[in-house]
Structure 1
Amino acid sequence: MSFILGFAGSNSSTSINYKLVRYTATLIKDPQVRLMDMAHCPFPMYSEDYEKENGFSNSLIEFKNDLQISKGIIISVNEHNGNPSAYFKNLIDWLSRLDRNFIKDKKVLLMATSGGKRGAIGSLEVAEKMLSRFGADITGTFSLPNFFDNFDIDKGILDDELAVEHANALKEFLAKITV
């Protein structure tokens, strides 16, 4: 069965980026979207010593396998001090050690949001470069600024212009994964 994998680059139980991914998933009728709530996926901080002593966790291997068998991937990255969170960077470090081609040729819709007016654009730019380095095909990006003013859990994206921008990025992503 083909599916899209969606997750946020945050391990917070109240992640606004996960809320954006979850909302985006509701707009997709086919294929099925599998959501990963990373708040339930703790990974130790990567180090070569830890890897040598403990190897790779089953949850990391399963996550990598889901990435590779998915038809496409939707990610929304959070921002800490203008960059993706340490959690997201750590996840990428682990995945790239397990398999350097963990995301090669995968179609990715990359998003970001924050409570501020820049909408985590710095994190979005860094994540785009990082994922492209491992072969991801970023089909489009979307940044939602001022999350708490521009998003409602029941209504979705409130600003009409931003809603259209989001819909266009999603439409382009879906067109590229169904080719």
Structure 2
Amino acid sequence: MKVIAYGASTSSTSINKALATYAANLIPGADVTVLDINDYPVPMFSEDKEKEIGQAEAAKAFLDAIATADALVISFAEHNGHYPAAYKNLFDWSTRIDQKVFKDIPAVYLATSPGPGGAQSVLAAAKGSAPFFGGNVKATVSVASFYDNFDLEKGQPTNSAVADEIKAAVAKLNA
């Protein structure tokens, strides 16, 4: 099974990328590729810019990477209750090329934050809008208070309940 995973964040120390990487690597026998959205730079989307340059090459590359997957593991960062601007911009460019960005590929959606909210607002938005963009969400998990529940050095949860919830979620990709 080819799994594409990414954290919807541009942070070089993204906790969402760490969470997505951990979760994707729980899938037995998976060939995991972790994307970094910094590798897909696009200008700020506008209809004027789209008329000027056409389809953004980096958005095409992002879509091409997603299309290679048998499963997706995406962890959404949250900025003030919403997608980070850089991810939303890449996503907007991508939807102009193919509205069904996620191509009905089975997916687990995750979200985490340092605080007690666990990025639940952005996770709910992502799950709610998924059907419009070809999303096939099999499970969602929000991890609150990331640093209290995850060891970044070891790349794994320190909280067994969190670990069990993530394992159960990714198991649904094989169901």
How would you bin the TM-score normalised by the shorter chain? over 0.9
TM-score between both structures, scaled by the size of structure 1:
0.90
* 8 A Cα contact 1:108 1:139, kept in partner: yes
* 8 A Cα contact 1:11 1:41, kept in partner: no
| Structure 2 counterpart of 1:72, one-letter code | A
1:155 Cα deviation (Å)? 5.4
1:159 aligns with 2:143: no
1:56–1:10 CA distance, 2 compared to 1 (3 A) = same
How many residue pairs end up in the alignment? Answer: 174
4+ residue runs over 6 A deviation? none
CA distance in 2, matches of 1:73, 1:40: 18
CA distance in 1, matches of 2:67, 2:150: 31
* 8 A Cα contact 2:15 2:113, kept in partner: yes
Which residue number corresponds to residue 113 of structure 1? Answer: 112
Mapping 1:118-137, distance limit 5 Å = 118-137=117-136
Which residue number corresponds to residue 40 of structure 1? Answer: 39
1:92 Cα deviation (Å)? 1.8
Mapping 1:59-138, distance limit 5 Å = 59-138=58-137
1:141 aligns with 2:152: no
Name the % identity. 35
CA distance in 1, matches of 2:12, 2:43: 17
CA distance in 1, matches of 2:101, 2:155: 35
1:155–1:46 CA distance, 2 compared to 1 (3 A) = closer
Higher mean Cα deviation, 75-84 or 85-94? Answer: 85-94
Which residue number corresponds to residue 168 of structure 2? Answer: 168
Unaligned segments of structure 1, at least 5 residues: none
| Structure 2 counterpart of 1:105, one-letter code | D
| Structure 2 counterpart of 1:147, one-letter code | F
